[in-house]
Amino acid sequence: MATIKELAAYTGLSPSTVSIVLGGKAQQRKIPENTQRRVQEAAQALGYRPNISARRLRDPEAKESMVVAVFWAEDFRAPMMVRFLRGLRRAIQAQGGGCEVLIHPYTCGRLREERSLISLSMFNAAVICNASAEDLAWLEQAKPLLPIVLYNRRSDSYCTVNVDDARIGALPAEVFSAHRRRRAAVLTADEVFYGMRVRTDRFLARCGELGLAVGPVLRQENSMRGGCEGALALCALPGDERPDCLFCASDALALGALRGFHQRGLCLPQALELIAVGNGEREAEEYAWPSLAVVSVPIEEMAVECFYLLRRLVRGEVRPPFSRPMEVRYLPGESCPESP
Amino acid sequence: MATIKELAAYTGLSPSTVSIVLGGKAQQRKIPENTQRRVQEAAQALGYRPNISARRLRDPEAKESMVVAVFWAEDFRAPMMVRFLRGLRRAIQAQGGGCEVLIHPYTCGRLREERSLISLSMFNAAVICNASAEDLAWLEQAKPLLPIVLYNRRSDSYCTVNVDDARIGALPAEVFSAHRRRRAAVLTADEVFYGMRVRTDRFLARCGELGLAVGPVLRQENSMRGGCEGALALCALPGDERPDCLFCASDALALGALRGFHQRGLCLPQALELIAVGNGEREAEEYAWPSLAVVSVPIEEMAVECFYLLRRLVRGEVRPPFSRPMEVRYLPGESCPESP
DNA sequence: CTGAAAGCGCTTACAG
DNA sequence: CTGAAAGCGCTTACAG
């Protein structure tokens, strides 16, 4: 990678002149066309690429601004990143900017391979989302030296922003019970983090407490396809094993399940009430047919809190571990209406 | 913002020692606990925040890596960013990494306010997505000095990656005509860029060429809500004005329309065939009920091409303007099956 | 155990 | 019109 110094040597000009031309200030500094051309040709010939860090180091405006990395799993959870970034953006704008967002997609379970978390020279702080148990274990031991907030995970040594997973599981059970449903089923996916298990377990336990029978707990790929297959499997059950209410672990599963139920002519909510964990776009839930009843995960608000927590961490105003709990809300929908 | 030098002055230590402690190398350099504490306390007291640019400037690994900014509109198009980032990530991984992605949400029409495009000290190159006519006009005149690729826009002075908007409009007309449909309608939204108008105009023109009557051209908010309202409006038309085929300008509009048609008990594809511009997640199209027939916009592949073009631009291997055309594909679905 | 010095690549007064 | 010098904030040999 050529530097300005090298271009200077190559052209026989000084670094100052080269810098002026490359910075687009030739006009105001009255550099003749000819000199400009020499510089441009040299840049082309030597493959010059400006060093952004060096430029930034000199830029007084840039000094105030900090860089926050968002680690997000590059799997079925990718679409949820939109909601998170929306919240993050909101928080940054609310403080008048001054924060750049660096996206770091990563493979779940391989957070340890992300050198940037160790090198300390890529960003000021990081929000780590979607961490697996392995990733968390590594974090507990590696202890990166920069401010970190974990999104929707528990930790004894980091700052975290959390939802109450037990509540997410209990709520649907209570609604189903109030609606006098008799047999509940669960449509979920591989438990990529501990909270998912808590949701399912707590749903089942609460059903038990309320006298609801619990039908099958189906585990499918966390996608619409998985949801659709799950629904078809439920419809294939013999009549007495068929549930009349269903807890879906994600919007994707639920939306796919709607298709499966349509295919089989099963009528919601009459034959089956459905409540999903609302982790997708609200509009997709509302304009589904039937619209989805959800226990809504406030992803945008959680992103805002992640940012605030990070800021307090950077300023030394909070010391980890610290957990910021967030409320989940139950939003009825046609798949499980308020007054059935 | 305190610097290491200031911490050194404050503690009476040298900048070297402070740096060693702050870099987490106290152990290996045998700095006594006590000195460490002094440094940490000073950092706390003075509100020290490391300057990432300065660190990066010294990091030999970081030197190779470049920073690409993605400008994306923070409006109804936000969800499409997921597909774009997926493609970008794929391209970066294919070349073995060495590229950071900076997300720059912006307000459409206000690109001119993005100082980072002028300052040159924030990133090496940029992909500008969703630019409005105003934004494009500004770009043509302001001519930022860094490598820029425009996503899905036309330009006389920039490199661009494009789909054939005329083809996107013509294709559905041809399918409807082959299916012997008689009256076509359009459900679209405000034309936030020129290509959208081309799609609609070309659809209408092609219908005319093929002898298809054209019913109303409805303009709604580009969202599921808008789509739903559009569908309800279509159903409210008197019988002889009601279309039997519909071209939707986006997946969001189409998915919302499906709900509207369900509400009115309109049967797809019998009563009405529907083809959408496929700009959303493929899975949402396939698992809709009925599944959507789409003219698919290859967003991921376009992102890959944006990256390649940017790389060639950075290396001086291509000179703007240059347009990379991308193929669109027609994917039948239940809303407009191959053999009706 | 700690410090003085050099240098990463760049830009900007300042001087000529 | 162009160049020599200083300095942005940091880390790392090197010396003691």
Give A99-145 pLDDT, tens digit per residue: 999 999 999 999 999 999 999 999 999 999 999 999 999 999 999 99
CA-CA-CA-CA torsion sign (A41, A42, A44, A50):
negative
Q: What's the mean pLDDT in A56-80? A: 92
Percent of chain A topping pLDDT 70: 100
Q: Which of A82, A121, A228 sits opposite B62 (nearest CB)?
A: A121
Distance, CA of B201 to CA of B190 (rounded, Å) = 14
Amino acid identity, position A130: N
> pLDDT value at position A223?
97
> pLDDT value at position B219?
98
* Statement: residue A339 has pLDDT above 80: no
A312 to chain B: nearest residue by CA? Answer: B47
> What would the pLDDT profile of A158-208 be if each residue is shown by its tens digit?
999 999 999 999 999 999 999 999 999 999 999 999 999 999 999 999 999
Cβ A102–B105 below 8 Å, yes or no?
no
Element (DSSP H or E) covering residue A286:
helix A282-286
Which nucleotide C1' is nearest A63 CA? D8
Decide: B215 and B185 in contact? Cβ < 8 Å.
Answer: yes
> What would the pLDDT profile of A26-38 be if each residue is shown by its tens digit?
888 888 988 999 9
Q: List C-alpha distances in Å: A103 to A245, B5, B162.
A: 39, 31, 25
- The spacing between the Cα labelled CA in B309 and the C1' in C5, in angstroms, equals 44
Cβ A56–B53 below 8 Å, yes or no?
yes
> pLDDT value at position A340?
58
Distance, CA of B322 to CA of A269 (rounded, Å) = 55
Q: State the pairing for strand pair A293-296/A329-331.
A: antiparallel
Q: Give the distance from residue B22's alpha carbon to the nearest chain A alpha carbon, in angstroms.
A: 8
* Nucleotides of C strand lying within 7 Å of any protein CB atom: 1-5, 7-13
> pLDDT value at position A132?
95
> What would the pLDDT profile of B271-316 be if each residue is shown by its tens digit?
999 999 999 999 999 999 999 999 999 999 999 999 999 999 998 8
- The spacing between the Cα labelled CA in B34 and the C1' in C6, in angstroms, equals 29
> What would the pLDDT profile of A252-263 be if each residue is shown by its tens digit?
999 999 999 999
Q: Which two tokens stand for residue A241?
A: 């094993």
Cβ A89–B79 below 8 Å, yes or no?
no
Cβ B262–A289 below 8 Å, yes or no?
yes
> What would the pLDDT profile of A282-295 be if each residue is shown by its tens digit?
999 999 999 999 99
Spell out which residues of chain A touch residue B255, defining contact as CB-CB under 8 Å: 284, 287
> pLDDT value at position A259?
98
Tell me which protein residue sits closest to nucleotide D9, measuring alpha carbon to C1'. Answer: B54
* Statement: residue A239 has pLDDT above 90: no
Distance, CA of B307 to CA of B143 (rounded, Å) = 20
> What would the pLDDT profile of A17-27 be if each residue is shown by its tens digit?
999 999 999 88
Which nucleotide C1' is nearest A60 CA? D8
Tell me which protein residue sits closest to nucleotide D2, measuring alpha carbon to C1'. Answer: A17
Domains and CATH numbers, chain B: 4-58 (1.10.260), 64-163+300-327 (3.40.50.2300), 165-297 (3.40.50.2300)
Residues 6+ apart with CB under 8 A from A37: none
Tell me which protein residue sits closest to nucleotide C8, measuring alpha carbon to C1'. Answer: B58
Q: Which of B195, B101, B115 is nearest to B151 (CA)?
A: B195
Spell out which residues of chain B touch residue A286, defining contact as CB-CB under 8 Å: 224-225
Q: What is Dmax (Cα atoms) for chain A?
A: 89
Q: What's the mean pLDDT in A233-242? A: 94
Distance, CA of A65 to CA of B53 (rounded, Å) = 11
> pLDDT value at position B62?
86
- The spacing between the Cα labelled CA in B30 and the C1' in C4, in angstroms, equals 19
Cis peptide preceding B321, ω within 30 of 0 = yes
Average per-residue pLDDT in chain A?
95
Rg (CA), chain B: 27
Enumerate the H helices of A15-110 as residue ranges: 15-22, 33-46, 52-58, 60-64, 81-94
> pLDDT value at position A162?
97
> pLDDT value at position B340?
58
Distance, CA of B84 to CA of B72 (rounded, Å) = 10
Q: Averaged in consecutive runs of 10 residues, what is the pLDDT profile of chain B (340 residues)?
A: 91 93 89 91 92 94 91 93 96 94 94 93 96 96 94 96 98 98 97 96 98 96 98 95 97 98 97 97 97 98 98 92 97 91
